[in-house]
Amino acid sequence: MRRAALALLAVVPALRLSAQGFPTEPPKPTRLAPVRFPPFKEATLPNGLALVVIEHHEQPVVSVSLAFRAGAIYDPAGKEGLSELTAELLSKGTATRTAEQIASTIEGVGGHLSASSADDFLTISVDALSDQLELVFDLLGDVTLHSTFPTSELELARTRSLSALALQLSQPGAVAQRFFASEIYGRNPYGRSPTRESYRAVTAEDVAQFARERLRPAGALLVVAGDVTDAQVRDLVAKAFAGWSGAPPSGPALPAPITRLAPEILLVHRPGSAQANIVAGNPTILPTDPVYYAGRVASQVLGGGADSRLFLILREQKSWTYGAYASLRRHRGLGYWQATAEVRTNVTDSALVELLHQIDRIRTVVIPDSELTAAKGFLVGSFPLTIETPSQIASQVANAKLLGLGDDYLRLYRERLSAVSGLQARAAAARLFRRSALTIVVVGDGARLYDRLKAIGPVRIVDVDGHPLTPSGLNPPAAPVALDLAQFAARLDSARVLVQGNPVGFTVSEVRRPGDSLVYTERSNLGNGAFQQQTTLVLDPADGSVRQVDQVTTQQGQRAETHLTYAAGRAKGSSSAPQQDGSVKRFDVDTALPPGTIDENAVPFVVPALPLAAGKTFTMTFFTPSENAIKVLTFKVGSPESVSVPAGTFQAFRIDATGSRVPFTMYVTSDAPRRVLKTEFAGQPFVVELVK
C-alpha cells in the first residue's frame, strides 16, 4: 500500500503541489446545498384573522407582527398622515396603561413594542424573549383593542411630524420623491404625501375612528416567529383577542395612474440648489405579475448597486454623481420603478441623456452573460442571508402573504431568478421601463437647468410648492426690483430671539436718515453675550441699493469682521467668519456681481420695502460676505393673515423665502410703515419676534 501511494505521488507531484499551495485565483464555488425555506404553519381564524406561526427553536426569542390594511393609502383626502399618527399613538396609552407604563412593562422584560405605517399596511411589532410570550400577547391585545389616543400625545406626535416634514422639504431628494410619486400616480392614493395642512387637519376623533374602522381582524395578518409552539400561540391569540371581530371597510377605489403618451420632464425650481436631483420612472405591475423576476434581474443590472451600470458609468467613469441607482418597487396595488441620481448642476443634461441611453440599452440589447451572472449571483446568493433569524423569516413570510404572492413564492424565489435568461430580462425591461412614457422629475436651480433640459424633452416648471412657473419667471431679474421708497422711513424695532419658545436674546434694528443718507443698523446679543453682532449698512436713498457694509461678530470670544464696499458691479474688501473649531477664517473679497445684487445682511431692510401684494413672487440676487457666495433668493407673498407677537396683533403678509442656506418665513405688516413681525427658519428651532 505504502509503495503504491509513493508511486502515485511520483506520477503527479506537480499537480499535488499546486493543489496544496496558495491559489493565485479566487477559488471556485463548492457544491451548493439546497436552500429550504423554514417550514411554517398557517390558518385563518373564524374572525378572518390570518395567522402564521414559524417555530424556530434555536434561541429563546419571539417576534410578533400584526399587519392591517391601514396604511397611508387609506388616509382620507386632506388628512394625509392620519395612518402615521394612528400608528404612533397606539402605544401611547390604553384604557388601563399610560404611555409610560406601556414602555416600562415591555422594557421590564427586556422587550420592545412599536407600530409604524407604510403605503399599504399599518404594522404593530413586538420582540421579546419567548418566556414572556403571555405578556407580549397581553400588550399586543391591549394596544390593538383598547388604545385611547390621548389628545396630549396626539399634539406631541403632530409636533414631531411637522418638524420632520419641515426638514424633509428642505432636502431636495425628499422633494423629488414627493413630486415623482404624484406625477406617476396622479390621483391614485399611492401618489399622495402628507402636508402641513393635512397633519394639522387630523383630530383625535379621526385617529380613534380610523383605528376603530380599520384595525379589524378580517384581512389582517398576525405572524409569530421564534421559540414557540403553534398550540401555545393559538391559545394566547384566543385569549388576547377574545370577541374581536369585523372587517375594515373596503378600500378606496384606486383611480388609474396617469398614462403618458410621451416622456415629460417636470422641473422643480429650487433656486440656488447646488445639485440637480433626477428621478425617472413609471408605474409598473401588480405584485403577482410573473414578469417580476426578469424585471428584478434587469433592474439589478441597470442600477442595483455599486456593481451595476448606472453606478459604474455615472459615478466611477464620469464622476458626475456620488451615486446612481435603479429599483423595482412593489405595492399591494400597482408598483413602480425608478432610476435616481444626484448630479452637479452643469452636467445634468449629460447625466440625464446617459441615463436615458442606459435605459434604451437595457431594453434593446441582450445583457452579456458576465453581467447576467454577476447580477443573479448577488440576487440568488444573498437570499439565505435574509432568512437567518426568526424575525427575518417572519418578515419574508409577511411580505409574501401581504402582497398575495402565492404559496410557492418563497420556495421558488431563487429558482425563478436563476432561470431568467438574457432574452427574458431584455423583454421585461422593454415592458417595464416605459421609455416612451417616462416621467422625469428634476429638482434644482431652474434658471440654470431649463435650457439644458428642454433640448431633451418637453419641460413643465413648478416651484417647490407645486405652483406652475414660466421659463421667464426663472431668471433672476436683470434689473433690481424697484423698492418702495415710502418704506425707507426712520424706525427703531426691538425683537426677541426664541429657541423653541424660550427667549435667548434680542436683536435691535434701526433705519436712520441722517442728512440725505440712509443707514440701516442691526445689533444682536444672544446667550448673554455668547454671540454678538453689530451690522451697519449704508444704502442709496434713491433705490435702496447697498453701498457699504461693516459688520463685527463676536462668538464665544472670537471676533470676526467684515468691511465691504459695493461699486461698479463688484463687492470689494475683506470678510471673516467664525469656524467650528473656534478659529476665525479671514479672506479678501473682490467679486463681480450680477446687476441688482444686494448684500444679504440687508434682507430685513429689503423685504418690507418690496412692492408686496398677495400672490406675488420676487426673485433677487444677494451676496453673502461670510461665505463669499452669490445666491438667488425667491420671496413668495401669501395673503394677509392675523399674526400675534409681543408688540401686538397685526395683519401681515406671510413671505416664504427660499435659496438661502436655511429657508425662512417672514411675517411683514401689510399696513405702512411696514415692519417685520416675525421670522421663522425651516427646520431650525429659532424664531425672531417683534417686541416693540
Partner 1 sequence: MRDVGVLGGVLVWLAPALAAQAGRISYEAFTLPNGLHVLYSEDHSAPIVSVDVWYNTGSRNERPGRSGFAHLFEHMMFEGSAHVKKGEHFQLISRAGGSENGSTAEDRTNYYETIPSNRLNLALWLEADRMRSLAITDENFHNQRETVKEERRLRVDNQPYAPAFIDGMTWPFDSATCFAYAHTVIGSIDDLNAGQLSDVQAFFDTYYAPNNATLVVVGDFRPLELRRFVNQYFSEIPRHPDPPPVSCASRVGRGPMRRELTDAHANLPAVMRIYRVPPHADPDTPALELLNVILGEGESSRLNVDLVRREKAALGTQVAMNPIDSRRGPGVLLALAIANQGVDPLKLDTLVAAQLDSLRAGGVTGEELTKAKNTFRSGFIHGRETTLGKAEELQHYDMFHASPAEINTDLERFLAVTADDIRRVAGKYLDPANALVIIVKPAASGVTQ
Q: Which among 93, 82, 131, 89 has a CA at the least distance from the CA of 110? A: 131
Chain positions 235 to 294 lying near partner 1, rule: CB under 8 A, are none
- The C-alpha atoms of residue 460 and residue 437 are separated, in whole angstroms, by 15
Question: Under 8 Å CB-to-CB from 392, ≥6 apart: which residues?
Answer: 386
Amino acid sitting at position 365: V
The CB-of-378 to partner 1 minimum distance in angstroms stands at: 6
Spell 270-308 as b/e; 16+ CB within 10 A means b.
Answer: bbbbebbbbbbbbbbbebebebbbbbbbbbbbbbbeeeb
- Between 51 and 375, name the residue whose CB sits nearer to partner 1: 375
**Other residues' Cβ atoms within 10 Å of the Cβ of residue 248:** 19
Residue selected from 142, 153, 522, 599 as contacting partner 1 according to rule CB under 8 A: 522
One of 14, 25, 253, 262 touching partner 1 (CB under 8 A): 25
Q: With binding defined as CB under 8 A, does residue 410 bind partner 1?
A: no
At its nearest, how many Å lie between partner 1 and the CB of residue 351? 22
DSSP string, 413-475: HHHHHHT--HHHHHHHHHHHS-GGG-EEEEEE-HHHHHHHHHTTS-EEEEETTS-EE-GGGTS
| Matching residue, cell 385569549 | 239
Least distance CB 222 / partner 1 (angstroms): 22
Site for partner 1 in 358-397 (CB under 8 A): 373-374, 377-385, 387-390
Question: Of residues 3, 22, 242, 250, which one binds partner 1 by CB under 8 A?
Answer: 22
Dist CA 286 CA 13 (whole Å): 60
439 vs 658 by CB, closer to partner 1: 658
Nearest approach in angstroms of CB 32 to partner 1 is: 4
- Kindly give, in sequence order, each residue whose CB lies less than 8 Å from that of residue 560, ignoring residues fewer than 6 positions away: 552, 553, 554, 576, 577, 578, 584, 586, 626
Residues 26-85 touching partner 1, rule: CB under 8 A, are 26-33, 35, 58-61
Smallest distance, partner 1 to C-beta of residue 70, A: 25
Q: Grid coordinates standing for 419?
A: 432561470
Binding residue for partner 1, selected from 45, 103, 589, 593, defined by CB under 8 A:
103
Find the shortest distance in angstroms from Cβ 23 to partner 1: 7
Among 555, 576, 597, 669, binds partner 1 (CB under 8 A): 555
Looking at beta carbons only, is 182 or 601 nearer to partner 1? Answer: 601
Residue with cell 394566547: 236
For partner 1, give the closer residue by CB, 126 or 278: 126
Contact flag: residue 105 with partner 1 (CB under 8 A): yes
Of 183 and 522, CB closest to partner 1: 522
Contact 387, 396 (CB under 8 A): yes
- Nearer of residues 265 and 310 to partner 1, judged by Cβ: 310
To partner 1, the closest distance from the beta carbon of 37 in angstroms equals: 10
How far is residue 103's CA from residue 111's CA, in Å, rounded to a whole number?
Answer: 9
The only residue of 13, 44, 78, 131 in contact with partner 1, by rule CB under 8 A:
131
Nearer to partner 1, 335 or 505 (CB): 505
Give least dist CB 607 to partner 1, A: 14
Considering only 8, 77, 109, 167, the residue that binds partner 1 (CB under 8 A) is: 109
Q: Helices (H) and strands (E) in the chain — how many of each?
A: 19, 29
- Find the binding residues for partner 1 in span 334-363 (CB under 8 A): none
> Which range binds partner 1 by CB under 8 A, 485-493, 512-520, 657-665, 668-676?
657-665
* Residue 46 C-beta: closest distance to partner 1, Å: 30
H or E element in which residue 125 lies = strand 122-129
Place of cell 409577511: 398
Q: Which of 226, 225, 224, 227 shows the shortest CA–CA distance to 240?
A: 224
Looking at residue 569, what DSSP letter applies? T
Q: CA distances (Å), 207 to each of 75, 158, 210, 215, 397, in order?
A: 10, 12, 5, 11, 29
- Residue 190: closest CA among 255, 249, 268, 250: 255
Q: How far apart are CA 345 and CA 273, in angstroms?
A: 8
Q: Which is nearer to partner 1, 159 or 203 (CB)?
A: 159
Which is closer to partner 1, CB of 647 or CB of 686? 686
Contact 669, 281 (CB under 8 A): no
| Least Å from the CB of residue 390 to partner 1 | 8
Closest separation in Å from C-beta 204 to partner 1? 21
Minimum CB–partner distance for residue 657 and partner 1 (Å):
11
Q: Which of residues 300-329 bind partner 1 (CB under 8 A)?
A: 305-307
Tell me the window of 129-137, 239-247, 327-335, 394-402 that interacts with partner 1 (CB under 8 A). 129-137
Angle between helices 292-303 and 369-382 (to 10 degrees): 110
Residue 673 in the binding site for partner 1 (CB under 8 A): no
Q: Which of 18, 44, 104, 364 binds partner 1 (CB under 8 A)?
A: 104
Scan residues 446-505 and list those touching partner 1 (CB under 8 A).
497-505
Q: Is 648 in the site for partner 1 (CB under 8 A)?
A: no
Identify the residue whose cell numbers are 471676533: 559
Binding mask 199-218 for partner 1 (x = CB under 8 A): --------------------
Site for partner 1 in 575-614 (CB under 8 A): 578-582, 600
- Least CB distance to partner 1 at residue 129 (A): 5
The verdict on 13 binding partner 1 (CB under 8 A) reads: no
Tell me, by CB under 8 A, how many residues bind partner 1.
86
Among 44, 101, 203, 346, binds partner 1 (CB under 8 A): 101
Give whichever of 97 and 678 is closer to partner 1, judged by the CB atom.
97
Which three-class secondary structure string do you get for 590-615? EEECCCCCEEHHHHHHHHHHCCCCCC
Q: How far apart are CA 9 and CA 215, in angstroms?
A: 74
- C-beta closer to partner 1: residue 8 or 35: 35
